[in-house]
Each structure stands twice: as structure tokens, then as C-alpha cells.
């Protein structure tokens, strides 16, 4: 029995690695569609990049949709200083042959969910949450159709990566994050606390480079470039594999340790926009609305990543 997924992303160098892992597991995942969102770079570039990645992996049957081109209220902030002007430094950027679906990504999300049985579709957001928040607001009846939301976003112990206290995805569209966090469906959250435990260090890059196929070589080039920025900024051993944590969880749940607790996001404070208010110690009688990932077995995580990349040989 394959698991029905809708991938909602802003490729994005780490989104790319997550897509490589997903496309290598189509024996386990029924990927209903990929929806691009504005985030790491503009929507035009994220939906183009998503199609480039489908062509690179020879999964051009995947349907790619353009979703929202700006956050709900704040102006778009991008991360091109990290991912490059085209949002996907490390590989050749070109105009893909495969078509962009004509339906808006939010309409695709609503129509697909409304046409499914309850609790059957898993949504995997790895960018700002604008698409899912817009769909939930426009058509609340989609909520019962969602089996689980498995998202990358937020930070608690790690502090922020776009401001001192905010992680990028929640910072770009904190209002969308609030809407999703209040949707009363199962939400599994991979924030910086856990993604900073899986760094694409030189030995990992060497393992990836030794895999003799086009996709692994592209992953190596992407991560080599991606790591440069992260090492310069944080002085750490490599680039954190944020978005691939979502796919690693869907492939091998026991890699991670979780805490069920309350998560809210500051939306408008000039000082703390996007800040996560995580009640890790359950100090207040608030709904424990998220399963918060706080630890990962990083050796097994990278073994899984390597295994997925080897499937393209």
C-alpha cells in the first residue's frame, strides 16, 4: 500500500535533495503532485527548478504546479544568498521541457483533497506554508482529508537562521504557519533543532561523490555549493539537511525522537516575527498540536540518504 503524498516546496538546494529521496521511493509513495511556492527564490524560479529536478531524475510524469507567489501579508523575503540567484546553485539551470500544470497549486490541493477519503493524503511542506494555509482558509472541508502534515520549519533551542529568533520558512509567512498549526490535524515538525544535527560534512560529501550516477553527482555539486554558505556563516562542518528530514521520516520514522507539545508562532512583532513559541515542557494547558522532532540518528540518516541516491544507478 503506497502512501499518498503532496510535496509543497521552494527548491531550493535542500528541497532538491528531499525531492531526490522522494522520487527514488515511488514504490512506497504515490506522489500526487509537487506544488511550488515562493520562498528561497521567486515562484517562477521555484516551479522551474522543481521541473528541472524532475527532468534530472527522469520523473517527468510528476505533475508540477505553481502555488502562491507571495506570503499572506508580509512582502516576500527570499534566501538567494544561500541558494543562489536562480535558487539552485550547483547544477545547470535551463528552461525545462516538461510542462507546468495550468491549474493553480492551491486549487489542485483543494480539489485533490476534496476528492479523497478522510485521512488519506500526507502533505509535505518544505517551504513557507502559504499554499496550505490558503487552501485551508478557502476550503476548511479539506482538513479531515489530511492524514498528516510533515513539515520543515521553526526553531526552539537552535535560535533563528534568518533573524536571531526565526527560522526562514516560518519567518517568510508566519500568518500561514499560524493557520496550519491551528488546523487540528496531525502535524510533525522538523525544525532547526533537529536539522542542525544532520550536516553535509566533507566525509558525507565524499560518500555521495563516490556514487556513480547522474543524480548523486548532482546532489554532490548542490551540497558542495550549499555547504559553503552555511560553513561561512555558522562555522559548522557542512550544510544542514533541513528538508530531507521530512522524507527521511516518511521513509524511516524511527530515525527520529519526538515530543508532543504546543507550538505557536509570532506573526507581526517587528523584533520576533516568525519566532516559535514552543511549550516543550508543557507549562500551559494548551493543545499539544505538534509532534516536535528533537533528535535524529545522524549516522542512519545519512545511510538512508546514500541508499536513496544509489537507487538512481
For Ca ion, the binding residue among 127, 160, 174, 240 (CB under 5 A) is 127
In the complex with ligand RIB, which residue's Cβ is closer, 15 or 145? 15
Q: How far apart are the two ends of the chain, measured CA to CA in Å?
A: 25
Q: Does position 10 bind Ca ion by CB under 5 A?
A: yes
Is there binding between residue 173 and Ca ion (CB under 5 A)?
Answer: no
Element (H, E) at 216: helix 214-234
Residue corresponding to grid cell 511542506: 125
15 binds Ca ion (CB under 5 A): yes
Instruction: Map residues 214-243 to x or -, x wherever contact with Ca ion holds by CB under 5 A.
Output: -----------------------------x
Picked from Ca ion, ligand RIB, none, the partner binding residue 193 (CB below 5 to 8 A depending on kind) is: none
Question: Which of the choices Ca ion, ligand RIB, none does residue 161 contact, using the CB cut-off of 5 to 8 A by kind?
Answer: ligand RIB
Say if CB 270 and CB 294 are below 8 A apart.
Answer: no
Would you say 71 or 127 has its CB closer to ligand RIB?
127
Is the Cα dihedral 129, 132, 135, 141 positive or negative? negative
Residues 13, 41, 112, 126: which binds Ca ion (CB under 5 A)?
126
Contact in structure between 258 and 217 (CB atoms under 8 Å): no
Please answer whether residues 46 and 9 qualify as being in contact, where contact means their C-beta atoms are separated by less than 8 angstroms.
Answer: yes
Q: How far is the CB of 125 from Ca ion (least distance, A)?
A: 9
Give the residue at shortest CB distance from ligand RIB. Answer: 168
Closer by beta carbon to ligand RIB, 17 or else 110: 17
Number of residues that bind Ca ion (CB under 5 A): 6
Contact 201/220 with Cβ under 8 angstroms? no
- H or E segment and range at residue 260: strand 256-265
Q: Which does 245 bind (CB under 5 to 8 A by kind): ligand RIB, Ca ion, none?
A: none
Provide the grid cell at 39. Answer: 520562498
Gap between the Cα atoms of 234 and 193, Å rounded: 14
12 binds Ca ion (CB under 5 A): yes
Does the annotation mark 242 as catalytic?
yes
Q: Give residues in contact with ligand RIB (CB under 6 A).
A: 10, 12, 14-15, 39-40, 79, 126-127, 152, 161, 167-169, 242-243
Catalytic residue among 59, 74, 242, 294: 242
The residue among 116, 157, 124, 160 whose CA lies nearest residue 244 is: 124
- Helical packing angle, 202-209 and 214-234, nearest 10°: 170
Catalogue the active-site residues. 242
Amino acid at each position: 500500500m503506497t502512501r499518498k503524498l503532496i510535496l509543497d516546496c521552494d527548491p531550493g538546494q535542500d528541497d532538491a535533495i528531499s525531492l531526490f529521496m522522494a522520487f527514488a521511493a515511488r514504490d512506497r509513495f504515490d506522489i500526487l503532485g509537487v506544488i511550488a511556492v515562493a520562498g528561497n527564490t521567486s515562484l517562477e524560479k521555484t516551479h522551474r527548478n522543481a521541473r528541472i529536478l524532475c527532468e534530472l531524475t527522469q520523473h517527468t510524469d510528476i505533475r508540477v504546479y505553481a502555488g502562491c507567489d507571495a506570503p499572506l501579508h508580509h512582502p516576500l523575503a527570499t534566501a538567494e544568498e544561500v541558494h543562489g540567484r536562480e535558487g539552485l546553485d550547483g547544477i545547470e539551470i535551463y528552461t525545462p521541457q516538461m510542462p507546468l500544470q495550468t491549474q493553480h497549486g492551491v486549487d489542485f490541493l483543494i480539489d485533490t483533497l476534496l476528492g479523497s477519503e478522510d485521512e488519506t493524503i500526507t502533505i509535505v511542506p518544505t517551504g513557507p506554508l502559504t499554499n496550505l494555509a490558503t487552501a485551508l482558509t478557502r476550503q476548511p472541508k479539506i482538513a479531515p482529508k489530511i492524514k498528516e502534515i510533515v513539515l520543515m520549519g521553526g526553531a526552539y533551542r537552535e535560535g533563528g537562521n534568518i533573524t536571531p529568533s526565526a527560522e526562514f520558512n516560518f519567518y517568510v509567512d508566519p500568518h500561514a504557519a499560524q493557520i496550519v498549526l491551528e488546523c487540528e490535524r496531525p502535524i510533525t515538525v522538523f525544525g532547526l533543532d533537529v536539522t542542525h544535527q544532520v550536516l553535509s560534512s566533507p566525509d558525507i560529501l565524499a560518500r555521495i561523490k563516490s556514487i556513480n550516477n547522474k543524480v548523486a553527482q548532482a546532489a554532490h555539486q548542490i551540497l558542495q555549493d550549499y555547504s559553503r554558505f552555511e560553513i561561512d556563516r555558522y562555522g559548522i562542518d557542512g550544510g544542514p539537511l533541513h528538508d530531507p528530514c521530512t522524507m527521511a521520516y516518511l521513509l524511516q520514522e524511527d530515525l527520529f525522537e519526538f515530543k508532543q507539545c504546543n507550538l505557536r508562532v509570532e506573526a507581526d512583532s517587528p523584533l520576533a516575527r516568525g519566532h516559535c513559541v514552543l511549550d516543550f515542557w508543557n507549562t500551559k494547558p494548551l493543545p499539544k498540536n505538534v509532534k516536535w522532532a528533537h533528535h535524529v540518528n545522524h549516522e542512519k540518516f545519512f545511510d538512508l540518504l546514500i541508499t536513496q541516491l544509489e537507487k538512481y544507478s
